[in-house]
Structure 1
Amino acid sequence: MSVSNPTLITFVIYIAAMVLIGFMAYRSTNNLSDYILGGRSLGSVVTALSAGASDMSGWLLMGLPGAIYLSGLSESWIAIGLIVGAYLNWLFVAGRLRVQTEHNGDALTLPDYFSSRFEDKSGLLRIISAVVILVFFTIYCASGIVAGARLFESTFGMSYETALWAGAAATIAYTFVGGFLAVSWTDTVQATLMIFALLLTPIIVLLATGGVDTTFLAIEAQNPDNFNMLKNTTFISIVSLMGWGLGYFGQPHILARFMAADSVKSIAKARRISMTWMILCLGGTVAVGFFGIAYFSANPHLAAPVTENHERVFIELAKILFNPWIAGILLSAILAAVMSTLSCQLLVCSSALTEDFYKTFLRKTASQVELVWVGRAMVLLVALIAIAMAANPENRVLGLVSYAWAGFGAAFGPVVLISVIWKDMTRNGALAGILVGAVTVIVWKHFNLLGLYEIIPGFIFASLAIYIVSKLGAPTQGMLQRFDAAEKDYRLNK
């Protein structure tokens, strides 16, 4: 690996810029609210792009293009489900959650919100939800570190052990120093880089394969079923892929962006920006994989790396078709996707440990400076645990990531959604929803019932549990008054 390698230089400049943003955010971080929620100061553009970037990991530039390359358009149902789910989340949850968290003790985290919203004096709701976050997100963080390590390993020929630390170090650095503002500002840069890569690459591939008509003919010649969205699908498999969209209602790292918006008025504009970004990115992702079929069928002598691992289709097209400097920028987009998600997950874990355990149970009188430094220490602790888990990339625990999305979606999704639209929901209803959702996902996954994605039964059963158990009790007068005040605030300002 030469030091003059344009890709290496591009990566170094990119990483240095992200760390610099972290130090800029450090100067605006004065208390725990600043560190874990940015002082609720995010404008619509940063709210929109950071929500998008924190959602889309390396899967956007590697997993999905690879699946489309291998199987054609039948793999795109998941993209449709994600777009529908994200839009409904912005529409029904974003603005209401912003005002509800403010009216319920100015809550900084989801467990904090649940505890205040349902007047949970026992602390049980806070503890259970914080534990769910820590378990699932530590595993998520490990998978992000593995993805970053694989990128450095394949791009620069590093050993896996070296790549592990190289890939994680920059993300840990700017999250540790700058907290939520650093994560949100870097997410905005990373979202811009991702959309640039995903709009430019399919256009250049299309030109390289002779235009739209020639490209489509080549794809059809390779396999006519590439255009068939129902190829090898069943009703259950389509519902399962679309069901991914349900997960949005319960993802703490995305919901934190709504809570951090500077006002409810910013949400509508942020929704339009974020959905435009998401649709263009997912469209570009599908196009990269789809047009890649035509390119590599026309250039079989270049197809060996993609044949060996179809998830490399974006990487190989970037290397082959672009000037090395531009290729370096495009490959940095994969790093951006990995880093943006990993940084959010580290911060949510840090928030749960600091706000929901340390401050609540250990040091109720801790100063703001102390809490910020505890938050930083927790980022480091979670990162080191995740790196230890990622040291063996074949470790079975990483397989749990396949249903961590479902776990959050079913355990938290119905609780969050119903808590912001139904004032009669009770504390016991929330507890029942979290437990039923999480247990259903685990049991359904274990027995692989009906071949249906576990988030769907988990979401349905959790919603029923919330309704039935809430009907057996009644909310307090204080809960009703706060809900009505928040709803009035939302309707006046949306």
Structure 2
Amino acid sequence: MINVAELTTFLVYFVLLLMVGYYFYKKTSNIEDYLLGGRKMGRWVTALSAQASDMSGWLLMGLPGAVYLYGINQSWIAIGLFIGTVVNWILVAPRLRVFTEKTNALTISSFLEERFKDPTGLLRIISAIITLIFFTIYASSGLVGAGKLFESMFSIDYRVAVLIGGAVIVLYTFLGGFLAVCWTDLFQGSLMFVAVIIVPLIAFFSVGGSTPILEAMSLKGISGSLIPDTALPLVAIISTMAWGLGYFGQPHILARFMSIRSIRELPASTVIAVVWVAFSLFFAVLVGIVGIPMFGELAGGDHEKVFILMIRELFTPWLGGILMAAILSAIMSTIDSQLLVSSSALTEDFYQKIIRKEATETELIAIGRISVILISIVAMLLALNPNNSILGLVSYAWGGFGAAFGPVILMALFSRRTGWQAALSGMITGTLVLVVWERLGLGAVMYEIVPGFIANFAAILIVNHFVKVDEKDFSDLFDAFRDEVRV
């Protein structure tokens, strides 16, 4: 039976999002506005948009579900992500902001082409293809989350739920582009932050504190230790912490660094982001822990609904509807970013680069909006399988970006000796190793991002040894960064 309070809350929430999309539809006048907000985003919008688009529905559904199912040792994922977040903001953000503006790059693919002076265009095209493949998988994970949420709340068919969630996300992204996405992320990130703290804290005291939790974990045979209960605990820890390596290659997060108003805004934005992610990850883990005594055994894939069930157990329908909207916020804040980056890959890196180089600004914005629709359709088709795991889909896509782009981005920002041949070799090698490793089933032993990331770096270093570049070719960018820092 449909809960009127929850339905009303969601309808109001949807209307607000669409209003934001329409407002920024009027404010978007060129392709830089549509894809990067004109590089004029403030510190709060940049920080919360980056973290909200980073965490997605897996923060409130996938991670708590994994902790609920396997125990506290899954916290190593959160620890790895926290470390990766801090390093990414400190090392990558300032250089990327300066370098992408100096190369006049609106996408990661175009930045790599300009930064490495690739005369063939292969870096741009292949990186764009990789972006489209993994973001389609990533976006489908969010739609799986939306399907599970709506199915639980409104007792509607899972497939119908996926289509409804996808339609709303597509509409406001289609209209407002990057500006709409970032400003809705500011609101959605704030709502996620409040919900992920309030819900587990109240649940913790409602079950009677830590003693019932430990008793329930013992009864289910779940270890309360951070040390994984496996034959090779150190390998398991490295595998789960390796999620942090993915940060250096996530285009939807890197785009936020590119969009901030000035490098001088980054220190304050970094503090905001780090505080947000520390609290959010800690309390998301607590959701899974408290869910163990609260719900006992949950059948099938319902372990990823533990946060939903917790809200319904503890809160009135009206307040519960608002808190449920936080889950939708987590889902939407990532999918909209992924759709936009994928749209930019099709628009900037294929349409303008290959098909129509003389395209007007109005034409490019139109192609960008059409691209959002096309990518969404493919993602929705992938999400229609109700047996899909949110964490499983996110894990593969996240690892794909980390293995393909992470080392290449780091070398682009810190190495004067890396040429386009090395960057292209590393990108292809990292991607192939990740895909083969996962297909062979070795991901059960070690998360595929680890061998992919290592192989990428190794390929770059080997090619660098044989293909020498003139470091003076890249001196202008590095000098520009030093000049910006001194200002």
> Structure 1-normalised TM-score?
0.93
Quote how far apart the aligned CAs of 1:306 are: 6.6
For the residues of structure 2 that align with 1:235 and 1:340, how far apart are their CA atoms?
34
Output aligned runs, 1:113-132, within 5 Å: 113-132=111-130
Partner of 1:228: 225
The whole-number CA distance in structure 1 between the counterparts of 2:355 and 2:273 is: 39
| Alignment RMSD | 2.2
Q: Does 1:237 align with 2:236?
A: yes
* Displacement after TM superposition at 1:81 (Å): 0.6
Residue 245 of structure 1 and its aligned partner are, at CA, apart by 0.5
Q: AA paired with 2:481? A: E
Matched, 1:388 2:386: no
Choose the corresponding residue for 1:369, options 358, 362, 370. 362
- Contact 1:117–1:479 (CA under 8 A) maintained in structure 2: no
2:170 aligned counterpart, secondary structure? helix
Matches within 5 A, 1:48-67: 48-67=47-66
Unaligned runs of 5+ in 1: 297-302
Aligned to 1:300: none
2:377 is aligned with what amino acid? L
Corresponding residue number in structure 2 for 1:440: 433
Cα distance per residue 1:459-491 (max 9 Å; x no partner): 112112112212323334663233223332343
State the match for 2:415 in structure 1. 422
2:451 to 445, 451, 457: 457
Q: Which residue of 2 aligns with 1:343?
A: 336
Q: 2: distance between equivalents of 1:160 and 1:189?
A: 27
Distance 1:117 1:328 in 2: 47
Per-residue CA deviations over 1:185-231 (Å, capped at 9, x if unaligned) read 11111111111111101121122123x45555545664685421114
One-letter identity of the residue aligned with 2:224: F
Pairing partner for 1:313 from 293, 299, 306: 306
2:56, 2:243 → 1: CA distance?
Answer: 15
Match of 2:322 in 1: 329
Amino acid of the structure 2 residue aligned with 1:229: L
Distance 1:203 1:397 in 2: 24
Aligned residue in 2 for 1:299: none
Q: 1:392 to 1:419 in 2, by over 3 A?
A: same
Between stretches 469-478 and 158-167, larger displacement belongs to: 469-478
* 1:423 partner SS: coil
Alignment partners' CA distance in 2, 1:317 and 1:16: 26
Q: Assess if the C-alpha contact under 8 Å between 1:306 and 1:312 holds in 2.
A: no
The size of the alignment, in residue pairs, is 484
* Corresponding residue to 2:371 among 373, 378, 383: 378
Deviations 1:89-113 (A, max 9, x none): 1111111011011111x10001100
Residue 292 of structure 1 deviates from its aligned partner by 2.2
For 1:175-190, what aligned pairs fall within 5 Å after superposition? 175-190=173-188
Give the direction of change, closer, same or farther, for the CA distance of 1:365–1:476 in structure 2 (3 Å limit): farther
Q: CA separation in 2, counterparts of 1:133 and 1:482?
A: 28
The letter for the 1-side match of 2:23 is M
> TM-score with structure 2 length normalisation?
0.94
Query: Which is worse superposed, 223-232 or 283-292?
Result: 223-232
Instruction: Specify the code of the residue in structure 1 equivalent to 2:47.
Output: A
Give the conservation status (yes or no) of the 8 Å contact 1:429–1:467: yes
Structure 1 residue corresponding to 2:132, chosen from 124, 131, 134: 134
Q: 1:82 to 1:491 in 2, by over 3 A?
A: same
Structure 2 CA distance, aligned partners of 1:77 and 1:247? 14
Q: Show structure 2 runs of 5+ residues with no match.
A: none
Determine helix, strand or coil for the equivalent of 2:71.
helix
Deviations 1:354-406 (A, max 9, x none): 01111111222211111111111111111122223333445899966542211
Secondary structure at the aligned position of 1:424 is classed as coil
Residue correspondence of structure 1 range 124-203 to structure 2 within 5 A: 124-203=122-201
Identity of paired residues, percent? 46
Separation in structure 1 between the aligned mates of residue 390 and residue 301 of structure 2, nearest angstrom: 25
* Alpha carbons 1:306, 1:316 under 8 Å: kept: no
Whether contact under 8 Å (1:150, 1:160) holds in the other structure is yes
1:140-169 deviations in Å (ceiling 9; x for gaps): 222222221221112101123321221111
The corresponding residue for 2:17 is 18
Alignment equivalent of 1:486, drawn from 452, 455, 480: 480
1:112–1:356 contact (8 Å) kept in structure 2: yes
Q: Secondary structure at the match of 1:385?
A: helix
- The CA distance in 1 between the partners of 2:376 and 2:419, in whole Å, is 35
